Structure 1
Amino acid sequence: MIEMKVAGIALDAITRSPIILLKDASERRALLIYIALEQARAIIGPLENQKPPRPLTHDLMMNSLGEWNINIEKIIIHSLERDTFYASVILQQGEFRKEIDSRPSDAIALALRANASIWVMEEVIANASIPIDRDADEAEQEAFREFISNLCPEDLIRYFGTSENS
């Protein structure tokens, strides 16, 4: 899993639909998740440290969890099927942990309110992320190509040793 942070909310230039922008810690990969306007509002509030005059749905959920001493440990965006992302909220109460199915937008809205980490499975990143820093990606690929081109069988034997039990 790769930890990601909410970089912000953007609008699609063509559809004018809100998009959650998640970035990895190295800011080399980004994940874009299209959401509805109401979901965008639920995420923008905590991003901009805005407190509504009355609790909204996600605030109500956080207040309820707090009353029962249940914490949001983290959220996980675990799969992508037919252009739909799937997520889970990991709840914790003492030694008890429970995984709850969630839309990514709701999970992110809760994570922001709880200061919980946001994780994305590697296969989701591989299938749906976009590169942000192409130069760093190309430099890493070139370094790997150079490493492979200079590798010889003796290096592998030295590193892994010989198997006497084979």
Structure 2
Amino acid sequence: MIEMKVAGIALDAITRSPIVLLKDSSDRRALPIYIGQEQARAIMGAMEHQKPPRPLTHDLMVNILEAWNMTLEKVIIHSLQKDTFYAALIVQHGEVKKEIDSRPSDAIAIALRTNTPIWVMEEVVADASIPVDRDADEAEQQAFREFISNLRPQDLIKRFGNGDG
């Protein structure tokens, strides 16, 4: 799994639909997730540390967690199926941990309110992320190509043995 942070909310240039943008710690990959208008407001409110006069849905969830001494341990965005992302809240109460199905937008909104880490499965990042730092990606690929071009079979045998073991 890869820990990601909320980089912000953007609007799709064509559809004007809101997108929550997650970035990895190296700022090399970004994961765009299309969300609804209400979820975008909930995420932006949490990012800006806004306190509504009365609890909104995500605030209510946080209040329930706190009232029952439960901790949101982490959020996991675990799969992408037919252009739909799936997430889970990992909630702990004492020694008991429960995984609760969630839309990524709701999970992110709650995670921001509780300062909880957001994790994304590697397969999801591989399938749906976009490169942010193309120059660094290209430099890494070029270094790997040079490494491979200078590699000799003897180097592999020395490093990994001849397979007799």
Return the offset for 1:144. Answer: 0.5
| Residue in structure 2 matched with residue 111 of structure 1 by the alignment | 111
**1:127-156 superposed Cα distances (whole Å, 9 cap, x missing partner):** 111111110000000000111111112211
Are residues 1:39 and 2:39 paired? yes
| Residue in structure 1 matched with residue 146 of structure 2 by the alignment | 146
SS of equivalent to 1:3 = strand
Paired residue total: 165
Structure 1 residue ranges (4+ consecutive) displaced by more than 2 angstroms after TM superposition = 161-165
Distance in 1 of aligned mates of 2:50 and 2:156? 56
Distance in 2 of aligned mates of 1:101 and 1:91? 11
| Residue in structure 1 matched with residue 79 of structure 2 by the alignment | 79
| Residue in structure 2 matched with residue 124 of structure 1 by the alignment | 124
| Residue in structure 2 matched with residue 70 of structure 1 by the alignment | 70
Return the offset for 1:157. Answer: 1.8
2:144 partner amino acid: F
| Residue in structure 2 matched with residue 51 of structure 1 by the alignment | 51
* Counterpart mapping for 1:22-37 below 5 A: 22-37=22-37
Distance in 1 of aligned mates of 2:18 and 2:91? 27
SS of equivalent to 2:97 = strand
Return the offset for 1:96. Answer: 1.3
Distance in 2 of aligned mates of 1:123 and 1:6? 19
Are residues 1:8 and 2:1 paired? no
Distance in 2 of aligned mates of 1:164 and 1:121? 36
1:132 partner amino acid: V
Unpaired segments ≥5 residues, structure 1: none
Distance in 1 of aligned mates of 2:47 and 2:125? 23
SS of equivalent to 1:14 = coil
SS of equivalent to 2:135 = helix
1:104 partner amino acid: P
Give aligned-pair identity as a percent.
75
- TM-score, normalised by the number of residues in structure 1: 0.96
| Residue in structure 2 matched with residue 93 of structure 1 by the alignment | 93
SS of equivalent to 1:109 = helix
Return the offset for 1:109. Answer: 0.5
Distance in 2 of aligned mates of 1:100 and 1:130? 28
